[in-house]
């Protein structure tokens, strides 16, 4: 049995996070439900923290991309999102 290195495990969780966000962005509730249930079947609740870790890393990568492409800091992006949520 080959043990997955921490770096490879991080990439695997990042791939799963991309899958979660792809399901989320599809706006197809059936697809999201199926994907969510697949994650639970594949990982079980005890591994959910690893998928959450992947989501955090994915969000960080997206914030960094926005900073690079638009010149908007991560903090400014997060504050903008927070203001939009507060307005609802």
- Residue-level pLDDT, tens digit, the chain, 88 residues: 334 466 677 778 788 888 878 877 777 778 778 877 887 888 787 777 787 778 888 899 999 999 999 999 999 999 998 898 888 7
For residue 22, how many other CB atoms are within 10 A of its CB?
A: 12
Tokens of 77: 């992006």
What is the CB-side half-sphere exposure of residue 68 using CA atoms within 13 A? 6
Give the predicted TM-score (pTM) of the model: 0.64
Q: For 46, which DSSP code?
A: G
């Amino acid at each position: 049995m080959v043990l997955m290195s921490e770096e490879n495990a991080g990439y695997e969780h990042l791939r799963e996070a991309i899958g979660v966000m792809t399901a989320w962005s599809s706006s197809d509730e059936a697809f999201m439900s199926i994907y969510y249930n697949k994650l639970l079947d594949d990982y079980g609740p005890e591994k959910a923290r690893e998928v959450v870790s992947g989501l955090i890393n994915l969000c960080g990568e997206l914030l960094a991309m926005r900073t690079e492409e638009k010149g908007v800091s991560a903090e400014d992006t997060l504050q903008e999102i927070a203001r939009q949520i507060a307005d609802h």
